[in-house]
Amino acid sequence: MVKTAVYALGGNALASPTSNSSENELEVLARAISDVVDLLEAGWHVIMTHGNGPQVGQLLALEQEGLYELDQWVAATQSMIGYKLTQAMSSIFLQRNRPERVVVVPTRVLVDAHDPGFTTPTKPVGPILSSSTVMTADWHIAETIHGPRRVVASPKPIEIIDIDVIQHISNLHAVTICCGGGGIPTIRDGTNFIGVPAVIDKDLCSSLLAISVDAGAFIITTAVPGIATDFGKETQKYHSSITLTELKSMYDQGVFPAGSMGPKAKSLIMAKSSKPSMSVVLCEPGNALRALKGTKGTTIA
């Protein structure tokens, strides 16, 4: 029986909002590709998603005339980041004589036009902002764990419109890169699909994807070793395993910040609640297979 793993790579992991270092990006990319190869060699089909918060924010900042809407920039980053992942992954496959191909699927995701996320922007995009930018920019700005960042609308994903294409390509043994940046936010107006200016949370969309393809594993990779309590304090503690009940309780108590670990915890809860038999883990890039074995990261039990 084919095993499918949905592997979610954070946009902050690829391009940190606090740093412009390409060296870190290359290291994360290498670790993520190592994860994909490890999963393939262990017999998994791999569907990969990625974030785009820093990247879409940088494009928004560059484009001053407002010629393009935010949903179009999401579509652009899907191709841009997907291309980068494809080139790197295809090269490794060629070097190792692996038969797999890599396919990028620009993905539309259905949202509710009346979602409260449109009136209360919460999704951080772009780099950390300077004090002068905070004072002068005509944007929604929120304080994150890294510092002040621009925030945009982030409606809840309802349905992955292109799920049949994603499933078909995955069934052909291709590594499928899809739902980039949480997917292109789209509403349905009668028989018309219309893109809307927002950025869907990548982890929530990835969780919906894992449920939709009946995945055997859902792996969120991020820039920390696992789920921690008392994050940033002297009493900080990483957990190798957390029960679904414990995670729900911590989430309800507001333990996890809305702009960082909060959506990840919600995504893990969503996947494990929907399919208890699914292996659901969070770890750093490079530790995916070890996380599935329980020796790295955090397992949702």
Residues 258, 127, 203, 279, CA torsion sign: negative
3 state DSSP class of 301 = coil
3 state DSSP class of 222 = coil
Long-range contacts at 255-259 (CB < 8 A, ≥ 24 apart):
255/229, 257/144, 257/145, 257/231, 258/122, 259/122, 259/124, 259/142, 259/144, 259/145, 259/149, 259/151
Q: Which of 10, 12, 52, 180 is catalytic?
A: 12
CB-neighbour burial class of residue 148 (10 A; exposed 0-12, middle 13-18, buried 19+) = middle
Active site residue 275: no
Q: Which of 53, 57, 117, 123 is catalytic?
A: 123
Active site residue 12: yes
Active site residue 202: yes
Q: Which of 53, 182, 202, 272 is catalytic?
A: 202
Q: What share of the chain is helix, strand, coil (3-state, %, to 5)?
A: 40, 25, 35
Q: Which of 117, 226, 259, 264 is catalytic?
A: 264
Active site residue 11: yes
CB-neighbour burial class of residue 85 (10 A; exposed 0-12, middle 13-18, buried 19+) = buried
Give the Cβ contact number of residue 231 at 10 Å: 17
Active site residue 233: no
Q: Which of 11, 51, 53, 182 is catalytic?
A: 11
3 state DSSP class of 275 = coil
Residues 76, 114, 111, 128, CA torsion sign: positive
Could you give the residue numbers annotated as active site?
A: 11-12, 123, 202, 264
